[in-house]
Amino acid sequence: MADGFYFEVNDARALRVTELINDYRNLQHYVVQCRANPTLDDYYEQGYAVLRQCEGEAQALLLTNFAGSGSQSTSGDPEQEKAQLQRILLDASSRRFQVQKTYLRAVAALRWVNSRNAILAGQRPQAHHVPSLQAIDISLQAELAAITDERVLTNLANADYHAGRWIQEDPSLQSILMWLRSQQ
């Protein structure tokens, strides 16, 4: 009976890993689509800089080794399988968390780019544009400040819960942040 329980829970863990990896892949795809082509004069403006930073973060995350790489076969031992799946669950949860945070920042920067383009309407910045441009800079800073670790994880957890996903063993924010620090 105990073996049947382990296999059922390990199957749930494996399914959860699949869901997390799929979310991660989709979010990476979305981040890649967040692009803008600034002029040389605008290249260092705040929103464009944030977009470049997000692209770099997404690339760096793709280059990070996967926790399951090089791991030994579990040879059918449910406890070894459980431990391996929990390591992979932490890795996948952390990656999804980080790319979600990056995606939210990229979307905020794209809103800034679109607002800037609407304000300038194809013109170079003039004195009469300054108040509006300052307002969108402040808005971007506020949006970025609102993208906290706690908010990102809470939003992901709520979405998972409402989708009916098995989240009983999802790692805590502290575990995720520790994993992310260990990958730097």
pLDDT at 74: 55
Query: Which of 46-60, 62-76, 101-115, 160-174 is predicted least confidently?
Result: 62-76
pLDDT at 35 over 70: yes
For 60, 113, 160, the CA distances from 16, given in Å and listed in that order, are 24, 36, 10
pLDDT tens digits, residue range 64-101? 887 665 555 556 778 888 889 899 999 999 999 999 99
Report residue 79 as tokens: 């406890």
- Residues in CB range of 144: below 8 A, 6 or more apart: 50, 105, 108
For residue 1, the model assigns a pLDDT of 40
What share of the chain in percent tops pLDDT 70? 91
What's the pTM value of the predicted model, to 2 decimals?
A: 0.89
pLDDT averaged over every residue in the chain: 91
Residue 150, pLDDT above cutoff 80: yes
The vertex-166 CA angle with 59 and 162, nearest 5°, equals: 85
